[in-house]
Copies of this chain bind each other. A is one copy, B any other.
Amino acid sequence: MNKKAERGRLTRDQLVATATELFAERGYEDTSIEAVLHEANVSRGALYHHFAGKEGLFEAVLEAVETRVDSQLVAAVAGQSDPVEALRGGCLAWIGFVGDHVVRQIVLIDAPAVLGWERWREVDQQHGLGMIRAALRATRRLPAELVDPFAHMLLASLGEIALLIARSPDPDAALDNGVAAIEELLRRVLR
Contacts and interface: CB of A to CB of B under 8 A. Distances in A.
Interface stretch (A13-21, A45-53, A59-67, A146-154): A146-154
Contacts of A166: 117
Given A109-B117, A145-B177, A160 B164 contact: no
A153 B157 CA distance: 4
Contact of A184 (B112, B114, B146): B146
A178 B148 CA distance: 10
Interface residues of A, number: 42
B161 A159 contact: no
- The interface residues of chain A, by DSSP majority, are classed as helix
A68 B116 CA distance: 24
Contacts of A121: 163, 167
Interface in A71-116: 104-105, 108-110, 112-114, 116
Copies of this protein in the assembly total: 2
13 contacts: A104-B117, A109-B116, A113-B114, A117-B163, A117-B167, A121-B163, A145-B180, A146-B180, A149-B178, A149-B181, A152-B164, A156-B156, A156-B160
A130 to B, nearest CB: 15
Leading 6 A-B pairs by shortest Cβ distance: A117-B167, A149-B181, A113-B113, A153-B157, A156-B160, A156-B156
Nearest to A180: B146
Contact of A146 (B104, B118, B160, B181): B181
Given A28-B113, A117-B166, 9 more contacts: A145-B177, A145-B180, A146-B184, A152-B157, A153-B161, A156-B157, A156-B159, A188-B189, A189-B189
A166 B117 CA distance: 9
Given A116-B27, A167-B117, A188-B191, A152 B161 contact: yes
